[in-house]
Amino acid sequence: MKILKVKDYEQLSEIAADLIAKQIKEKPTSVLGLATGSSPVGTYQKLAAMKLDFSNVLTFNLDEYCGLSNDNPQSYYFFMMENLFKHINIPKGNTHFPSENNCDKYDDQIARAGRVDLQLLGIGSNGHIGFNEPDQVFHNKTRVVELAQSTIEANARFFEKPGDVPKTAISMGIGTIMAAKKIILVADADKFDIIQKMMNPVVSPQLPASILHYHPDCTIIYVTTS
Ligand code: GLP
């Protein structure tokens, strides 16, 4: 695992965007795994400003809430459109999102695309990646998941009423994520504590991101508070 400590969000976004741009330039038909959340927003802004050719890139998003339509501003579909897709030349048909209808087929679809070349990840305060919450075991496949109470509370800031916050989501599995050829995890300063815990090389499904210690090409970029 490669660790890059950076001084601020700007630098975090710049380094992550440069790594993704390098991937696309080296392989214009790259398959990207994409994340939502506040940590990757700056990365997407910088990437969009680079005016790269995304016309042959395929993307697979990590997760999506259950029960939110694409035009709901809190859906991850809407997030990706606003923060990246509408600013680049990617054909709509090249972008993919897991849903309750396709979750059984999502992993096969990714495998058929030749596996994810580069997977971008954020991390939840409880150590989740995608929406793989702390559990007794690591779950391999894309599936519907129950969100942890702490995740529901963390997500409440984006919704008008607490009752609007989805309690279930569809998430790529840990196996799906680990099958990516390269992984980059970005974490802003508010994730400093969980990043420190994750550095401890004890791999446990109670801290899902700890599995990344076993990935052969994983880079963690995080903002240090010291
Ligand atoms: C959500 C997403 C995760 C993301 C996390 C962190 O829970 N499902 O994939 O990693 O948010 O978000 P942020 O970057 O806003 O801290």
pLDDT per residue rounded down to tens, the chain (226 residues): 999 999 999 999 999 999 999 999 999 999 999 999 999 999 999 999 999 999 999 999 999 999 999 999 999 999 999 999 999 999 999 999 999 999 989 999 999 999 999 999 999 999 999 999 999 999 999 999 999 999 999 899 889 998 999 999 999 999 999 999 999 999 999 999 999 999 998 999 999 999 999 999 999 999 997 6
- Say which of 128, 155, 188, 215 is annotated catalytic: 128
Q: What is the pLDDT of residue 201?
A: 84
**Ligand 1 pocket, 17 CB below 6 A?**
no
Active site residue 190: no
**Cα–Cα distances in angstroms (integers) from residue 141 to residues 8, 28, 54, 177, 216, in the given order:** 34, 27, 27, 9, 20
Q: What is the pLDDT of residue 170?
A: 98
Q: What is the pLDDT of residue 104?
A: 87
Active site residue 126: yes
CATH number of 2-223: 3.40.50.1360
Alpha-carbon gap, residue 111 to 130, rounded angstroms: 18
Alpha-carbon gap, residue 85 to 45, rounded angstroms: 11
Contacts of 130 (CB under 8 A, 6+ apart): 35, 62, 63, 121, 171, 172, 173, 177
Alpha-carbon gap, residue 117 to 27, rounded angstroms: 9
Alpha-carbon gap, residue 94 to 42, rounded angstroms: 22
The pTM is what? 0.96
Q: Which residue's CA is the nearest one to ligand 1's atom 1?
A: 37
- Say which of 64, 117, 133, 188 is annotated catalytic: 133
**Cα–Cα distances in angstroms (integers) from residue 180 to residues 31, 33, 96, 221, in the given order:** 9, 8, 16, 17
**Ligand 1 pocket, 123 CB below 6 A?**
yes
DSSP state of 163: G
DSSP secondary structure letters along 150-166: HHHHHHGGGSSSGGGS-
